[in-house]
């Protein structure tokens, strides 16, 4: 079988170029969705898409598409990921998938070969979901999981005076391309693993078979502010105490339910003063599990425990379900194509489940989708020290290139 090779030097130069946009002192990047840094990254990609003579289309929530051929999605093999990052982001999360997709097209064009049908690249808006909830928002919109109005009216987290629509207009990336009209022929995403498994098993590649389910929940607890010195312990209605109990319980729950991961990632007290019993505590829980039933059971146990502790402490609890994404299985034909191609390229690979959420899990609801992982050094991500080696980056991009070539009949 004919194999194609990417230009590693050119690929790494592009990764370096992009890493300068939103660069942080510690070597990472911060490009929160629809901030100026995200806008600059989008403009950087737009220039590159135009230089490759791709047909550029922007949809109503700012998803950016570059088509080689026509913009008929139904005959398009779509590759991509996201350019937005968390506030303490690494330079590979999301960026790798978009750059690798562009490198695939660059390589094929330089060889003068074109796969059958159209080849497309997409940069999805707000994959990270930290500035606007939920995450994977752009791909959720494209796959029909959220309406245009709901996206546009979403407030910036913590700012009810600023909406997604305001920020999208300011960024200048609002378009009228109908991305929800047709599903692509296939969607492939190259991404860093963001965990330790591939490195631990000394593998080059992970062929992702499924993405675990994700629950994001925000809890607002209301007790009563009181004097830290004069209020007897059994007369307190301490919202801070209840919230801290939930952090401890979450760890216990993950020991009870195997493969469950739980994170109490954000917590704030009011009035948050050294000598005042906290009146309010607001915290979020990120729960994930590869099995939908187990995830639901964990969520129920968590809520039941919270109710009991609130009852004992005389604290009221309100809950907002920010995200409920089921586990998703990827397409077996695409997985087989990735297996065969990785074998031909001589890579050490294995199948795996994704711990992180990805745009591919949204796309899987409308078209055959699959993902390729490459190792993350020390399994670190969402951290400025995130790192993947140029060799692993080259391998992952070669696999994406040859899989697309195979799917395109080359
Ligand atoms: O949280 C996630 O897994 C995704 O990267 N936003
Ligand atoms: Mn990502
Ligand atoms: Mn991420
Ligand atoms: Mn992700």
Backbone angles phi, psi at 71, to 5 degrees: -90, 30
d(CA 19, CA 342): 28
d(CA 12, CA 14): 5
- What is the residue with the minimal CA distance to atom 2 of ligand 1? 357
The model's pTM is 0.91
| Alpha-carbon Rg for the chain in angstroms | 23
pLDDT in tens, the chain (410 residues): 789 999 999 999 999 999 999 999 999 999 999 999 999 999 999 999 999 999 999 999 999 999 999 888 899 999 999 999 999 999 999 999 999 999 999 999 999 999 999 999 999 999 999 999 999 999 999 999 999 999 999 999 999 899 999 999 999 999 999 999 889 999 999 999 999 999 999 999 999 999 999 999 999 999 999 999 999 999 999 999 999 999 999 999 999 999 999 999 999 999 999 999 999 999 999 999 999 999 999 999 999 999 999 999 999 999 999 999 999 999 999 999 999 999 999 999 999 999 999 999 999 999 999 999 999 999 999 999 999 999 999 999 999 999 999 999 88
Residue 97 CB–ligand 1 contact under 6 Å: no
Specify the pLDDT at position 2: 83
- The Å distance, Cα 406 to ligand 2 centre, comes to 25
Residue 356 CB–ligand 1 contact under 6 Å: yes
Q: Which atom of ligand 1 is nearest to the CA of 286?
A: 1
- What is the residue with the minimal CA distance to atom 6 of ligand 1? 128
280 CB contacts (<8 Å, ≥6 apart)? 220, 221, 222, 223, 239, 269, 270
408: DSSP letter: T
Give yes or no for a cis peptide into 271 (omega within 30° of 0): yes
Exposure of 23 by Cβ count < 10 A (0-12 exposed, 13-18 middle, 19+ buried)?
middle
Specify the pLDDT at position 181: 83
Contact (CB, 8 A) for 319 and 225: no
Residues with a beta carbon under 5 angstroms from ion ligand 3: 93
Residue 357 CB–ligand 1 contact under 6 Å: yes
Can you read off the two tokens belonging to residue 336?
Answer: 């087989």
Q: Which atom of ligand 1 is nearest to the CA of 355?
A: 3
The closest of 43, 1, 85 to 342, measured between CA atoms, is: 1
* Separation of first and last alpha carbons in the chain: 9
Specify the pLDDT at position 182: 84
- The Å distance, Cα 210 to ligand 4 centre, comes to 13
- The Å distance, Cα 382 to ligand 3 centre, comes to 6
133: DSSP letter: S
Can you read off the two tokens belonging to residue 339?
Answer: 């297996």
- What is the residue with the minimal CA distance to atom 1 of ligand 1? 357
Residue 135 CB–ligand 1 contact under 6 Å: yes
CA angle 47–49–55, rounded 5-degree value: 125
Q: Which atom of ligand 1 is nearest to the CA of 93?
A: 5
Q: Is 3 helix (H, G, I), strand (E, B) or coil?
A: coil
Whole-complex ipTM: 0.90
Burial profile 94-130: b = 16 or more Cβ within 10 angstroms, e = fewer: bbbbbbbbbbbbbbbeeeeebbebbbbbbbbbbbbbb
Sort strands 205-211 and 349-354 into parallel, antiparallel or unpaired: parallel
Can you read off the two tokens belonging to residue 34?
Answer: 């629809």
d(CA 409, CA 136): 31
Q: Which atom of ligand 1 is nearest to the CA of 94?
A: 5
Residue 128 CB–ligand 1 contact under 6 Å: yes
CA angle 70–71–72, rounded 5-degree value: 90
Can you read off the two tokens belonging to residue 185?
Answer: 């022929």
Residue 129 CB–ligand 1 contact under 6 Å: yes
């Amino acid at each position: 079988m004919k194999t194609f090779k990417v230009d590693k030097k050119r690929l790494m130069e592009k990764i370096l170029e992009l890493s300068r946009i939103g660069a942080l002192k510690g070597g990472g990047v911060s490009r929160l969705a629809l901030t100026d840094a995200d806008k600059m990254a989008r403009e950087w990609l737009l220039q590159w898409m135009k230089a490759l003579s791709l047909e550029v289309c922007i949809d109503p929530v700012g998803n950016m598409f570059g088509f080689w051929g026509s913009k008929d999605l139904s005959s398009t093999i779509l590759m991509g990921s996201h350019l937005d990052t968390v506030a303490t982001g690494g330079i590979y999360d999301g960026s790798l998938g978009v750059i690798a997709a562009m490198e695939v097209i660059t390589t094929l064009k330089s060889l003068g070969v074109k796969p059958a049908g159209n080849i497309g690249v997409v940069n999805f808006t707000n994959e990270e979901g930290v500035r606007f909830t939920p995450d994977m928002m752009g791909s959720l919109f494209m796959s029909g999981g959220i309406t245009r109005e709901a996206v546009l009216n979403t407030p910036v987290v913590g700012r009810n005076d600023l909406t997604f629509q305001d920020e999208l207009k300011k960024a200048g990336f609002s378009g009228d391309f109908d991305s929800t009209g047709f599903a692509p022929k296939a969607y492939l995403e190259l991404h860093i693993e963001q965990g330790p498994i591939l490195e631990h098993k000394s593998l080059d590649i992970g062929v992702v078979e499924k993405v675990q389910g994700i629950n994001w929940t925000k809890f607002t607890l209301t007790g009563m502010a009181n004097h830290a010195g004069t209020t007897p312990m059994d007369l307190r209605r301490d919202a801070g105490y209840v919230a801290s109990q939930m952090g401890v319980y979450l760890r216990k729950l993950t020991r009870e339910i195997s493969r469950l991961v739980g994170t109490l990632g954000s917590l704030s007290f009011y009035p948050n003063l050294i000598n005042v019993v906290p009146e309010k505590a607001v915290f979020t829980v990120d729960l994930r599990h590869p099995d939908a039933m187990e995830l639901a059971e964990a969520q129920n146990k968590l809520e039941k425990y919270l109710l009991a502790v609130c009852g004992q402490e005389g604290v009221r609890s309100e809950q907002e379900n920010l995200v409920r994404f089921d586990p998703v299985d990827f397409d077996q034909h695409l997985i087989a194509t990735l297996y065969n191609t990785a074998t031909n390229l001589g890579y050490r690979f294995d199948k795996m489940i994704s711990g992180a959420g990805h745009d591919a899990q949204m796309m899987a609801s409308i078209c055959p989708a699959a993902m390729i992982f490459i190792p993350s050094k020390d399994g670190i991500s969402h951290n400025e020290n995130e790192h993947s080696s140029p060799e692993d980056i080259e391998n992952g991009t070669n696999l994406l290139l040859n899989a697309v070539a195979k799917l395109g009949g080359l």
